[in-house]
Amino acid sequence: MELKKAIIDRHSIRGFTTEPVSKEMVEDILKTAGYAVSSKNTQPWQYAVITGDILKKIGEENVAQLRNGDAFDIPDTVYAGEYRTRQIDVAKKLFAAMEIGREDKEKRDWWMERGFRFFDAPVAIILYADADMDNNITRFDVGAVTQLITVAAMEHGLGTCVAYQAVMYQKALRKHLGIGEDKTFIVGVALGHPDPSFPANAVLTGREEVSTLAKFYGF
């Protein structure tokens, strides 16, 4: 797949088939993504790759905490101004595609819970780092490798959704994965074969024009 096309075509997949993803596929994706840029070549990212019953249990326990109203271990991000506008725009598109009404609390709750279940993907990749390396540079590095995971997956016909909800609750993750407080969970990626019948998978988001984002000097 041509690189520029892959970058532009990549978009979030929130509905997956039940077709399994092989360990060999995931290993190849992570090997490719591992060539991401990192500060001083530190490569601070680490992965927990989860499937099967363990993934199902973590998702169920996440949802149980959500329904119970438990406080998030990592608070949700609150956006304002133009960033909030972009957030609302994609939410409107997704809800329209899924026919979720503004006052339909049951369906809205169902939609929200899917994120905490890794969108029912067959595989979830949790990205984390040493707690004593948790700083802005490390998070930038993890963001870089996460982007390459989403693009490398396309080579195998797989879709992804970067899911911050995957780490907002951490009790189940630490319990089932045996990962202690000396590690910091940063983000998750849902991974699997896209379900072509899932309406939200057809939703595409716009991008700001370079002219509104970039200032050029000396050209």
Residue ranges of E strands in the chain: 46-51, 123-130, 159-163, 183-192
Condensed to tens digits (0 to 9), the pLDDT of residues 100-126 reads: 998 999 999 999 999 999 999 999 999
Cβ count near 183 (within 10 Å): 20
Residue pair 51/122 in contact (Cβ under 8 Å)? The answer is yes
Q: What homologous superfamily does CATH list for 3-200?
A: NADH Oxidase (3.40.109.10)
Does this model's pTM top 0.85? My answer is yes
Residue pair 166/124 in contact (Cβ under 8 Å)? The answer is yes
Condensed to tens digits (0 to 9), the pLDDT of residues 197-216 reads: 999 999 999 999 999 999 99
pLDDT of residue 81: 96
Instruction: Spell out the domain ranges in the chain.
Output: 3-200
pLDDT of residue 48: 98
Angstrom distance (rounded) from CA 188 to CA 124: 7
Residue pair 20/122 in contact (Cβ under 8 Å)? The answer is yes
